[in-house]
Amino acid sequence: MLMLATACSREERVKNGVATDAGIAAVALPEEQYRDLLKRRFLSTQSGPVTLGILGLDEGCRSLESAVDAVVKRELPKWRANVVTAYRNTVPAGELAEAIEKSPRRARMMLQPHIPAIGAAIKELNSPLLESSAIEVMGSTFAAASTMDQASRPMAERQKDLAQLRETDEICGVKKWPRQ
């Protein structure tokens, strides 16, 4: 039974010797990538953490997640198509199909030599979409913060949240970049 399930799932990832869009997406994880980049973009600004401070860390993360959900729901098909195109344009078709036939982990290992080119292609194709999406996420979270009565949050709570932002390795489900 396991062999049959494995054979069927491999068949969906490669059809007629060509990696399918679904197969590439199973390896590239475009939704996770898009969500992570949107959150990172928000958190990398000066205004993002300030907005979290205004709303409070818990409410701020909920607001950020809601904004990201709305953008991803609408724009993911474009993002995914661009990611698939980047893989197709940078990896030889036979090599891509061979990798996609493997487990996602094994495929990522096999495609490792192509990662710089894939990354550059994804960046080129998705930069305008990432920029407009990030602006929308910022606008939504800023709007939520603007409705907050700042006087209703005691300074001690704000300082606690800011300390937690500085000390934690993860904010709103996103791991911080390692410090150099």
At 114-158, the pLDDT tens digits run 999 999 999 999 999 999 999 999 999 999 999 887 777 777 887
For residue 3, pLDDT over 60 is answered with no
For residue 5, pLDDT over 90 is answered with no
For residue 164, pLDDT over 50 is answered with yes
Lowest mean pLDDT among 8-12, 19-23, 110-114: 8-12
The single residue listed with the structure tokens 């489900």 is 173
| Cβ atoms of 171 and 41 closer than 8 Å | no
- Residue 161: predicted pLDDT: 79
Degrees to nearest 5, angle at CA 167 with 162 and 169: 115
- Residue 178: predicted pLDDT: 57
Q: Answer yes or no: is 82 within a domain.
A: yes
Q: How far is CA 162 from CA 58, 83, 93, 141, in A?
A: 12, 35, 49, 17
Q: Answer yes or no: is 111 within a domain.
A: yes
Tell me the H-state helices in 91-149. Answer: 93-100, 104-111, 115-146
Q: What's the domain range around 107?
A: 16-171
Degrees to nearest 5, angle at CA 150 with 145 and 154: 130
Residue of 80, 108, 102, 106 whose CA lies nearest to 9 = 102
Q: Answer yes or no: is 10 within a domain.
A: no
Domain count, the chain: 1
Q: Answer yes or no: is 90 within a domain.
A: yes
Lowest mean pLDDT among 33-37, 98-102, 148-152: 148-152
Q: Answer yes or no: is 98 within a domain.
A: yes
Residue of 52, 69, 49, 70 whose CA lies nearest to 60 = 52
Q: Answer yes or no: is 34 within a domain.
A: yes
Q: Answer yes or no: is 67 within a domain.
A: yes
Per residue in 68-80, pLDDT (tens digit) is 999 999 999 999 9
User: Strand pairing partners for 106?
Assistant: none
Q: Answer yes or no: is 72 within a domain.
A: yes
